[in-house]
Structure 1
Amino acid sequence: MVATVLRLRYRILGNTLARRPWQLVGFCFGIIWALGILAPVVSVLIGLSRLDDLAPVRAVAILGGSALLLGWIVGPLLIAGVDTTVDATKLATFPLTTRQVMTILTATGLTGIPGIATSIAALATLLLWVRSPLATLVAVPCIALAVLTCVIASRLASALSTGLGGNRRGRELVGTIVLVAVIFAGPLATGAVAALSNAGDVGAQFGHASVVLGWTPFGAAWAVPGDVAAGSYVTAALKFVIAAATVAVLWAAWHAALTRATVSPPRQTTRSVRPGRLGLFGVMPTGGVGATWARSLTGWLRDPRYLRQLIVAPLFPILFAFTGGVDGFMFAASPIFVAFVLCIAGYSDISYDGTAFASVLSSGIRGRQDRWGRILGAACVGVPLTIAIAVITAMIGGHASTLPAILGAALGLLLAGYGVTAVSSALIVTPVAAPGDSPFKTVPGQTFVSGLLVFVVLGACGLLAAPALIVGIMGMVGGDPAVGVAALAVGVLGGAVVTVAGVLIGGRTLERTAPDLLQRIKAFPVG
């Protein structure tokens, strides 16, 4: 059964590459990338194998293996998305047990480009232990455990980030947690390296880190051959048990996750409300603007694809405080980065409507009303959040005198972004993740050109907000209260002008392009 699925997988891959030249180019770049990593890794291993001192060899093996496992967990989610060519959902309709599905998915993970490259690199570590025949012999099963740990851990992370027992809220929660963890991973690693560098001898600090990691699931399998080579047989046996237990625990957790995701029936995600309860639609003004306003604000407060923007944005002050301290310029300027994220959240707003955009067209709402309603919905959460972060960071950092300058730059960028997205979302629709999907899942139909459109919109936002940004930064650096007040005035007034102009232009554009936008949305492939 495994061989059959693998043949089907590679036949699908071959057909896809034959039909889509750009995917073939990307596949070739993937092979070149893997070879480009393997060459220096093997060279380093050859150099280490010639050292007489065993300590640096053991440290490099453990630290490198730990980094490899972390890369397998985070890398596919962050860089390439979850590969859905062969996944548990597609195999669930076949008469296969969960254990068979797991075996198939493990085999596909091992036979992909990352799996093959990892296996070759892991086998190359045998060069480190040629000085000890017993250590070389023990390293073989340890390498198998280490590679299996990488693949199974990656599959478990994918299963958790894409669904829990068919529960949409579970998928949304886990996906958001993984997203936040990924965002914090870089600064945490940077801070850890900085702490090690400031602690004295970097080599000694990394040696201590390798000793600790050798007793964890991350580095236990890689530490066993080194302990055998050093004559620490009892320690090696204990770490081998940890490595084997890690594979067993990961396998069991993955089994439970797949059982819930593919066997358990989908759970009801709707809820009942009392008759007459209209939510925000009963609070907002009537008419086209009010109805669109209520619908947009409901999306910002309940749709996880919007909520993730509100979760990610406040993390900027935390990240900058961690990396540069609360006295640094980046911490003070973090509200500008918050505005930067929020201002482009609706650059292809209609894409999130999906085919439901047909109801907007059938309602007879004018383009200008639709633009105002969407902007008001976004502003109800974006403006208060930006102001609150600006005030809080100013109080914590002790730079209250520059608050007007910071607010001017941030609000100018935010309002200018609303104006730009009022036009861009009347022109651009792109494939987006479905409600409840993982934020890391590859969305079918996305292209390189559609990805570049984001940077075009960002450039337009920065260009139109340039006066507010320049005056605001001058006020922050100089600390002159008069310049700060000027920055606030320029930001609010200039941003308001851009917003109004964007609504007028975007409204007329939407009335002309709306039928074409709906047709393009319907043509998007379904993931």
Structure 2
Amino acid sequence: MVAVLVRLKLALLRNALTRSIWKVLGLVFGGLYALGVIAAAYAGFVALRINDDPILTGGLTVLVFSLVTLGWVAFSVLISGIDDTLSPSRFALLPLSARRLQPGLFVAGLLGIPGVATTVVALGLVVAWSGSLVTALGALVAVPLGVATCFLLSRLATAGLAELLGTRRFRDIAVVLLALSGAGIGIGANVVTGSMGTDPTAWFGALERITDVLAWTPLGWAWALPASLAEGAWLAAAARLLLAVGLVVLTWWGWGRFLEVRLTSPLESRSGSGKVRSGGALDRFFGATPRGAVAARSLRYWRRDPRHLANLAALIVLPVLIVVTQFAQEEPNQLLVVFSPLLMALLLGSVISMELAYDGSAVALHVHTGLAGRDDRLGRLMAAGVLIVPALVVISVACVAIAGRWDLLVATLAMTLGVAVIIGGVASWISVFWPGHAPPPGANPFGKGSSGGLEAMVSFGVVTGASLVASLPVLAAGIGSLWLGWLQWVALGLALVLGALASWVGVVLGGRALDRRWPEVLRSVTALDA
């Protein structure tokens, strides 16, 4: 069964590459990035071997590989998603048990770029600890345990959260908690680095304390094994070996339980009540028009879809993270606090560009009903504006109040809202050509493609670059108001004019392009539905 699933995984990869140039480019760029990471990692391993300091080697290897393990979980859940080409639900109709499938899914899952890169880099642990036979053997034992821990923890986390996110209440709470966790990590890292300063002794002492803690956590049990042997702590090494093996066994069992559930009960969303309501407040607010219907539906998606909720939480957390980290320092940068909402506006393009992809096969409804592209573009912009613009205003006023720079309120609002509206208009046009793709509704929300893939990254890069060029007059006037206060009113006027122009261009040109490209868009956004 292992060989069959591996061949199936390779066949699916080959077929996907032949159908999509974006997947080829993604594989190439991902492979080049992985090669760069591997080369840098092995240069570090060789340097540690030459230095031959067991304390330094143990501290750095435990810290780095613990972060790698945490990264597997965090990136699978929050950013790139897991490779779901061999989803267990695809085998639900076959007479196969989870016990038979699990080894094959494990091996096939490690065949992707993250799995191969992690395994190759982990083997460098043997290079770093090759100073003695005992530590080298300990590293050889630690590598498979550590790699298995990375993979199994990530699969257990994504499987568990995907199951729980089927309920509306937990889905909303989970998104907020994940966003707060990311903010907490960023704030903690900033506070630690700020308190350490540039004293090498302080850094070395902090490294020892941190690794002592990590070595007794699930993240570091396996990776700390050779360090314990190097110190001659045989009892600690035996305890960590038992804990690491026990963790692998426990996560293997937990993942197997989720596989059994997915084989007998494919993942389904349980957010609906089964009742269809019409004539709600949103429908009355936007009006009984095609664009109004699109706006009302899009706004409901912003409230109910975990992908939209995660994006919204990330946008709001970023300014909060900047403000907190600045005031954690002795001399906070007030201008950075005041203009931090601008970062929220800049990242808005990644959200609006994915609107079509999040609809998936439901885009066919727009095609079948003959919806005009202009109504689709305008309706989605209306929904985003109703939700995002008030949030930007509140956050901008709050940041100005916290920094005590009320003289910059108009400039902050002008730059933030101007850039946001311009990006919204540009994204409404550009995203028609690169809509990206996402897991279909009801599937694992953390599956591969949840962030849109390379196509969405290209779309975001083009949208942001073009929007920055179009926003230069607003940004120049806003920054100039730091010296000439009256320029903030110029910035506000430019924001209104350029924002209206960008919105018009996005709706008109994006609508025309969408009318011509409905089949191509539908094919792109449903690429993962099959």
The verdict on a shared fold, with TM-score over 0.5 as the criterion, is yes
Q: Does 1:221 align with 2:222?
A: yes
Q: Is the 1:63–1:210 Cα contact (8 Å) retained in structure 2?
A: yes
CA distance in 2, matches of 1:415, 1:26: 30
Structure 2 letter corresponding to 1:60: L
CA distance in 2, matches of 1:68, 1:28: 22
Give 5+ residue unaligned stretches, structure 1.
none
Q: Residue 347 of structure 2: which of 330, 341, 346 is its match?
A: 341
1:510-525 counterparts in 2 under 5 A? Answer: 510=511, 513-514=514-515, 516-518=517-519, 520-522=521-523, 524-525=526-527
- The answer for the alignment partner of 1:302 in structure 2 is 304
Structure 2 letter corresponding to 1:61: T
Structure 1 letter corresponding to 2:486: A
- The answer for the alignment partner of 2:149 in structure 1 is 149
Residues 43, 375 of structure 1: alpha-carbon distance in 2 compared, 3 angstrom cutoff: closer
CA distance in 1, matches of 2:451, 2:222: 40
CA distance in 2, matches of 1:353, 1:442: 16
Deviation at 1:394, TM superposition (A): 1.1
CA distance in 2, matches of 1:248, 1:279: 52
- The answer for the alignment partner of 2:493 in structure 1 is 489
Q: Is the 2:52–2:131 Cα contact (8 Å) retained in structure 1?
A: no
- The answer for the alignment partner of 2:322 in structure 1 is 320
Give 5+ residue unaligned stretches, structure 2.
none
Residues 135, 94 of structure 1: alpha-carbon distance in 2 compared, 3 angstrom cutoff: same
Q: Residue 413 of structure 1: which of 383, 400, 419 is its match?
A: 419
Residues 482, 439 of structure 1: alpha-carbon distance in 2 compared, 3 angstrom cutoff: farther
Task: Tell me which of the two structures has the higher relative contact order, counting C-alpha pairs closer than 8 angstroms and 6 or more residues apart.
Answer: 2
Q: Is the 2:354–2:435 Cα contact (8 Å) retained in structure 1?
A: yes
Residues 355, 30 of structure 1: alpha-carbon distance in 2 compared, 3 angstrom cutoff: closer
Q: Is the 1:418–1:499 Cα contact (8 Å) retained in structure 2?
A: yes
Deviation at 1:138, TM superposition (A): 4.5
Deviation at 1:386, TM superposition (A): 0.8
CA distance in 2, matches of 1:119, 1:495: 49
Residues 345, 126 of structure 1: alpha-carbon distance in 2 compared, 3 angstrom cutoff: closer
Report Cα offsets for 1:284-318 as digits up to 9, x if no partner.
Answer: 43344543443333333333443333222211212
- The answer for the alignment partner of 2:388 in structure 1 is 382
- The answer for the alignment partner of 2:209 in structure 1 is 208
Structure 2 letter corresponding to 1:489: G
Q: Residue 473 of structure 1: which of 463, 479, 494 is its match?
A: 479
Report Cα offsets for 1:349-408 as digits up to 9, x if no partner.
Answer: 455445545554666766655554433322211211111001111111211221111011
Q: Residue 271 of structure 1: which of 245, 270, 273 is its match?
A: 273
Report Cα offsets for 1:103-129 as digits up to 9, x if no partner.
Answer: 222222445554444444444434555
Report Cα offsets for 1:27-54 as digits up to 9, x if no partner.
Answer: 5665665554445544544443455643
Deviation at 1:459, TM superposition (A): 2.9
**Range with bigger deviation, 387-396 or 304-313:** 304-313
CA distance in 2, matches of 1:82, 1:281: 37
Structure 2 letter corresponding to 1:231: G
Residues 481, 365 of structure 1: alpha-carbon distance in 2 compared, 3 angstrom cutoff: same
Residues 4, 171 of structure 1: alpha-carbon distance in 2 compared, 3 angstrom cutoff: farther
CA distance in 2, matches of 1:447, 1:57: 36
CA distance in 2, matches of 1:407, 1:193: 32
Q: Does 1:257 align with 2:253?
A: no
Structure 1 letter corresponding to 2:474: A
Q: Is the 2:130–2:136 Cα contact (8 Å) retained in structure 1?
A: yes
- The answer for the alignment partner of 2:56 in structure 1 is 56
CA distance in 2, matches of 1:361, 1:88: 32
**Range with bigger deviation, 403-412 or 292-301:** 292-301
**Range with bigger deviation, 360-369 or 211-220:** 360-369
1:418-437 counterparts in 2 under 5 A? Answer: 418-424=424-430, 429-435=435-441
Q: Residue 462 of structure 1: which of 458, 468, 474 is its match?
A: 468
CA distance in 2, matches of 1:184, 1:466: 33
**Range with bigger deviation, 253-262 or 203-212:** 253-262
- The answer for the alignment partner of 2:400 in structure 1 is 394
Report Cα offsets for 1:136-183 as digits up to 9, x if no partner.
Answer: 44444333322221221232234245x217936567875775576567
Q: Does 1:167 align with 2:166?
A: yes
Residues 439, 463 of structure 1: alpha-carbon distance in 2 compared, 3 angstrom cutoff: farther
Q: Secondary structure of 1:201's partner?
A: helix
Residues 53, 449 of structure 1: alpha-carbon distance in 2 compared, 3 angstrom cutoff: closer
Residues 244, 460 of structure 1: alpha-carbon distance in 2 compared, 3 angstrom cutoff: same
Structure 2 letter corresponding to 1:248: V
CA distance in 2, matches of 1:22, 1:368: 27
Structure 1 letter corresponding to 2:104: I
Q: Secondary structure of 1:314's partner?
A: helix
Residues 439, 474 of structure 1: alpha-carbon distance in 2 compared, 3 angstrom cutoff: farther
**Range with bigger deviation, 225-234 or 341-350:** 341-350
Deviation at 1:96, TM superposition (A): 3.0
CA distance in 2, matches of 1:359, 1:340: 31
Residues 429, 139 of structure 1: alpha-carbon distance in 2 compared, 3 angstrom cutoff: closer
Deviation at 1:330, TM superposition (A): 2.5
TM-score by length of 1: 0.82
CA distance in 2, matches of 1:345, 1:380: 15
1:490-505 counterparts in 2 under 5 A? Answer: 490-500=494-504, 502-503=506-507, 505=508
**Range with bigger deviation, 306-315 or 323-332:** 323-332
Structure 2 letter corresponding to 1:336: L
- The answer for the alignment partner of 2:232 in structure 1 is 231
The root-mean-square deviation of aligned C-alpha atoms, in Å, is: 3.9
Query: Alignment identity in percent?
Result: 29
Structure 1 letter corresponding to 2:151: V
Deviation at 1:88, TM superposition (A): 2.5
Q: Is the 2:342–2:416 Cα contact (8 Å) retained in structure 1?
A: yes
- The answer for the alignment partner of 1:88 in structure 2 is 88
- The answer for the alignment partner of 1:106 in structure 2 is 106
Count of aligned pairs: 521
Structure 2 letter corresponding to 1:88: P
Q: Is the 2:353–2:456 Cα contact (8 Å) retained in structure 1?
A: no
CA distance in 2, matches of 1:463, 1:87: 43
Larger Rg: 1
- The answer for the alignment partner of 2:336 in structure 1 is 330
